[in-house]
Amino acid sequence: MTITFITGANKGLGRETARRLIEYGHTVLVGARDREQGEEAAAALGARHVPIDVTDDASVAAAVANVAEHEGRIDVLINNAGVHGPVGDPGDLTAADARAVLEVNVIGVVRTTTAFLPLLRRSDAPAIINVSSGMGSLAFTHDPGRPESHVIAPLYTSSKAALTMLTTQYAKGLKDIRVNAADPGYTATDLNGHSGPQTVAEGTDAIVALATEGLGAGTGRFVSRHGEIAWS
Protein backbone atom coordinates (compact mmCIF):
# COMPACT_ATOMS: atom_id res chain seq x y z
CA MET A 1 0.00 0.00 0.00
CA THR A 2 1.41 3.37 -1.02
CA ILE A 3 1.32 5.89 1.82
CA THR A 4 1.07 9.50 0.62
CA PHE A 5 1.35 12.64 2.70
CA ILE A 6 -0.11 15.83 1.19
CA THR A 7 0.32 19.30 2.68
CA GLY A 8 -2.54 21.74 2.30
CA ALA A 9 -4.89 18.87 1.53
CA ASN A 10 -8.05 20.22 3.13
CA LYS A 11 -9.20 22.07 -0.02
CA GLY A 12 -8.53 22.81 -3.67
CA LEU A 13 -5.83 20.89 -5.51
CA GLY A 14 -4.64 19.14 -2.36
CA ARG A 15 -8.06 17.77 -1.50
CA GLU A 16 -8.77 16.64 -5.06
CA THR A 17 -5.36 14.99 -5.25
CA ALA A 18 -6.16 13.15 -2.03
CA ARG A 19 -9.53 12.01 -3.36
CA ARG A 20 -8.07 10.70 -6.60
CA LEU A 21 -5.13 8.94 -4.97
CA ILE A 22 -7.45 7.20 -2.55
CA GLU A 23 -9.29 5.88 -5.60
CA TYR A 24 -5.93 4.55 -6.81
CA GLY A 25 -5.57 2.67 -3.54
CA HIS A 26 -3.19 4.99 -1.71
CA THR A 27 -3.35 5.47 2.02
CA VAL A 28 -3.56 9.27 2.14
CA LEU A 29 -2.60 11.50 5.03
CA VAL A 30 -4.35 14.85 4.83
CA GLY A 31 -1.91 17.46 6.07
CA ALA A 32 -3.71 20.66 7.07
CA ARG A 33 -3.00 23.57 9.39
CA ASP A 34 -6.65 24.11 10.33
CA ARG A 35 -7.70 21.18 12.49
CA GLU A 36 -11.44 21.50 11.86
CA GLN A 37 -11.05 21.75 8.08
CA GLY A 38 -8.48 18.98 8.02
CA GLU A 39 -10.64 16.61 10.01
CA GLU A 40 -13.68 17.40 7.87
CA ALA A 41 -11.76 16.73 4.66
CA ALA A 42 -10.24 13.52 5.99
CA ALA A 43 -13.62 12.21 7.16
CA ALA A 44 -15.25 13.02 3.82
CA LEU A 45 -12.45 11.40 1.83
CA GLY A 46 -11.78 8.35 3.98
CA ALA A 47 -8.31 9.51 4.95
CA ARG A 48 -6.50 10.48 8.15
CA HIS A 49 -5.81 14.07 9.14
CA VAL A 50 -2.36 15.03 10.37
CA PRO A 51 -2.06 18.59 11.68
CA ILE A 52 0.82 20.49 10.05
CA ASP A 53 1.77 24.13 9.64
CA VAL A 54 4.66 24.19 7.17
CA THR A 55 5.83 27.54 8.54
CA ASP A 56 6.43 26.15 12.03
CA ASP A 57 9.32 23.84 12.97
CA ALA A 58 7.54 22.35 15.97
CA SER A 59 4.37 21.65 13.98
CA VAL A 60 6.28 19.89 11.21
CA ALA A 61 8.26 17.85 13.74
CA ALA A 62 5.03 16.84 15.45
CA ALA A 63 3.55 15.77 12.10
CA VAL A 64 6.57 13.57 11.40
CA ALA A 65 6.32 12.01 14.87
CA ASN A 66 2.60 11.39 14.31
CA VAL A 67 3.22 9.57 11.03
CA ALA A 68 6.18 7.65 12.43
CA GLU A 69 3.96 6.37 15.25
CA HIS A 70 0.95 5.43 13.10
CA GLU A 71 2.23 4.48 9.63
CA GLY A 72 5.98 4.16 10.17
CA ARG A 73 6.91 5.53 6.74
CA ILE A 74 5.68 7.47 3.74
CA ASP A 75 6.20 6.61 0.08
CA VAL A 76 5.16 9.91 -1.50
CA LEU A 77 5.44 13.43 -0.12
CA ILE A 78 3.40 16.03 -2.00
CA ASN A 79 4.41 19.58 -1.10
CA ASN A 80 1.18 21.26 -2.10
CA ALA A 81 0.58 23.96 0.52
CA GLY A 82 0.92 27.41 -1.00
CA VAL A 83 -0.18 31.02 -0.82
CA HIS A 84 -0.54 33.62 -3.56
CA GLY A 85 0.42 36.97 -2.08
CA PRO A 86 -0.22 40.44 -3.52
CA VAL A 87 -1.19 41.00 -7.16
CA GLY A 88 -0.41 44.13 -9.15
CA ASP A 89 1.99 47.03 -8.66
CA PRO A 90 5.25 45.63 -7.22
CA GLY A 91 6.08 49.10 -5.96
CA ASP A 92 3.73 48.47 -3.06
CA LEU A 93 5.42 45.27 -1.88
CA THR A 94 6.87 45.08 1.59
CA ALA A 95 9.46 42.79 3.11
CA ALA A 96 6.69 41.32 5.26
CA ASP A 97 4.72 40.45 2.11
CA ALA A 98 7.72 38.66 0.67
CA ARG A 99 8.48 36.82 3.88
CA ALA A 100 4.92 35.55 4.18
CA VAL A 101 4.87 34.05 0.67
CA LEU A 102 8.37 32.60 0.70
CA GLU A 103 7.87 31.13 4.16
CA VAL A 104 5.11 28.87 2.81
CA ASN A 105 6.01 28.32 -0.85
CA VAL A 106 9.75 27.79 -0.55
CA ILE A 107 11.00 27.64 3.03
CA GLY A 108 8.01 25.51 4.02
CA VAL A 109 8.93 22.99 1.33
CA VAL A 110 12.50 22.82 2.61
CA ARG A 111 11.35 22.49 6.20
CA THR A 112 8.83 19.75 5.41
CA THR A 113 11.07 17.82 3.02
CA THR A 114 14.02 17.72 5.41
CA ALA A 115 11.82 16.59 8.27
CA PHE A 116 10.16 13.79 6.30
CA LEU A 117 13.32 12.41 4.65
CA PRO A 118 13.85 9.71 7.31
CA LEU A 119 10.31 8.39 6.77
CA LEU A 120 10.69 8.56 2.98
CA ARG A 121 13.89 6.54 3.17
CA ARG A 122 11.98 3.70 4.80
CA SER A 123 10.09 3.30 1.50
CA ASP A 124 11.14 0.99 -1.33
CA ALA A 125 10.19 3.66 -3.89
CA PRO A 126 10.23 7.11 -2.30
CA ALA A 127 9.06 10.14 -4.26
CA ILE A 128 8.68 13.86 -3.64
CA ILE A 129 6.33 16.00 -5.74
CA ASN A 130 6.55 19.76 -5.48
CA VAL A 131 3.44 21.54 -6.70
CA SER A 132 4.96 24.41 -8.64
CA SER A 133 3.48 26.51 -11.46
CA GLY A 134 4.05 27.68 -14.99
CA MET A 135 3.85 31.11 -13.39
CA GLY A 136 7.44 30.49 -12.32
CA SER A 137 8.63 29.86 -15.88
CA LEU A 138 10.57 32.65 -17.60
CA ALA A 139 9.45 31.32 -20.99
CA PHE A 140 5.75 31.13 -20.08
CA THR A 141 5.59 34.52 -18.41
CA HIS A 142 7.24 36.16 -21.46
CA ASP A 143 4.99 34.47 -24.01
CA PRO A 144 2.03 36.79 -24.82
CA GLY A 145 0.08 33.81 -26.06
CA ARG A 146 0.02 32.22 -22.61
CA PRO A 147 -2.17 33.29 -19.66
CA GLU A 148 0.87 33.30 -17.36
CA SER A 149 2.18 36.39 -19.17
CA HIS A 150 -0.86 38.51 -18.33
CA VAL A 151 -0.66 38.33 -14.55
CA ILE A 152 1.50 40.48 -12.28
CA ALA A 153 2.02 38.46 -9.11
CA PRO A 154 5.63 39.21 -8.17
CA LEU A 155 5.97 37.09 -5.06
CA TYR A 156 3.99 34.07 -6.21
CA THR A 157 5.86 33.87 -9.52
CA SER A 158 9.23 34.36 -7.82
CA SER A 159 8.48 31.70 -5.24
CA LYS A 160 7.48 29.18 -7.90
CA ALA A 161 10.62 29.93 -9.93
CA ALA A 162 12.61 29.22 -6.78
CA LEU A 163 10.64 26.02 -6.16
CA THR A 164 11.29 24.60 -9.62
CA MET A 165 15.02 25.27 -9.23
CA LEU A 166 14.91 23.74 -5.77
CA THR A 167 13.34 20.66 -7.32
CA THR A 168 16.24 20.21 -9.75
CA GLN A 169 18.74 20.55 -6.94
CA TYR A 170 16.94 18.00 -4.77
CA ALA A 171 16.76 15.65 -7.74
CA LYS A 172 20.50 15.91 -8.28
CA GLY A 173 21.39 15.63 -4.61
CA LEU A 174 18.91 13.01 -3.38
CA LYS A 175 20.00 10.06 -5.49
CA ASP A 176 17.73 7.63 -3.65
CA ILE A 177 14.50 9.60 -4.11
CA ARG A 178 12.57 10.67 -7.22
CA VAL A 179 11.95 14.41 -7.00
CA ASN A 180 9.74 16.13 -9.57
CA ALA A 181 7.65 19.27 -9.95
CA ALA A 182 4.08 19.53 -11.21
CA ASP A 183 2.44 22.46 -12.98
CA PRO A 184 -1.31 22.19 -12.37
CA GLY A 185 -2.11 24.89 -14.94
CA TYR A 186 -4.64 27.68 -14.56
CA THR A 187 -7.19 25.93 -12.38
CA ALA A 188 -10.26 27.32 -10.64
CA THR A 189 -9.34 27.34 -6.93
CA ASP A 190 -9.55 29.67 -3.94
CA LEU A 191 -6.02 30.81 -4.78
CA ASN A 192 -7.24 32.70 -7.87
CA GLY A 193 -10.83 33.39 -6.89
CA HIS A 194 -11.97 30.39 -8.97
CA SER A 195 -11.10 32.26 -12.18
CA GLY A 196 -9.14 29.49 -13.88
CA PRO A 197 -10.64 27.68 -16.89
CA GLN A 198 -9.55 24.22 -15.74
CA THR A 199 -11.51 22.11 -13.31
CA VAL A 200 -9.83 21.03 -10.10
CA ALA A 201 -9.72 17.48 -11.48
CA GLU A 202 -7.82 18.66 -14.55
CA GLY A 203 -5.52 20.65 -12.33
CA THR A 204 -4.49 17.53 -10.44
CA ASP A 205 -3.73 15.41 -13.51
CA ALA A 206 0.03 16.06 -13.41
CA ILE A 207 0.28 15.57 -9.65
CA VAL A 208 -1.62 12.28 -9.75
CA ALA A 209 0.43 11.06 -12.71
CA LEU A 210 3.68 11.70 -10.83
CA ALA A 211 2.33 10.08 -7.66
CA THR A 212 1.27 6.89 -9.44
CA GLU A 213 4.06 6.34 -11.96
CA GLY A 214 6.31 3.30 -11.84
CA LEU A 215 9.75 2.74 -10.39
CA GLY A 216 11.50 3.43 -13.68
CA ALA A 217 10.16 6.97 -13.98
CA GLY A 218 12.69 9.76 -14.04
CA THR A 219 13.65 12.44 -11.57
CA GLY A 220 14.21 16.17 -11.93
CA ARG A 221 11.25 16.73 -14.27
CA PHE A 222 8.70 19.53 -14.56
CA VAL A 223 5.39 18.02 -15.70
CA SER A 224 2.00 19.42 -16.71
CA ARG A 225 -1.14 17.54 -17.71
CA HIS A 226 0.02 17.91 -21.30
CA GLY A 227 3.47 16.41 -20.77
CA GLU A 228 6.96 17.36 -19.70
CA ILE A 229 7.92 21.05 -19.61
CA ALA A 230 11.40 22.29 -20.46
CA TRP A 231 13.14 23.97 -17.55
CA SER A 232 13.10 27.65 -18.50
Question: How far, CA to CA in Å, does 203 sit from each of 16, 49, 59, 111, 132?
Answer: 9, 22, 28, 25, 12
* CA–CA separation, 207 and 221 (whole Å): 12
Residue 23 in contact with residue 42, Cβ under 8 Å? no
- Which phi and psi angles does 9 have, rounded to 5°? -100, 10
Residue 152 in contact with residue 87, Cβ under 8 Å? yes
Q: Give catalytic residue positions.
A: 156
The 10 Å CB-count burial string (b at 16+, else e) for 98-127 is bebbbbbbbbbbebbbebbbebbeebeebb
Query: What secondary structure letter does DSSP report for 218?
Result: -
- Which phi and psi angles does 209 have, rounded to 5°? -60, -45
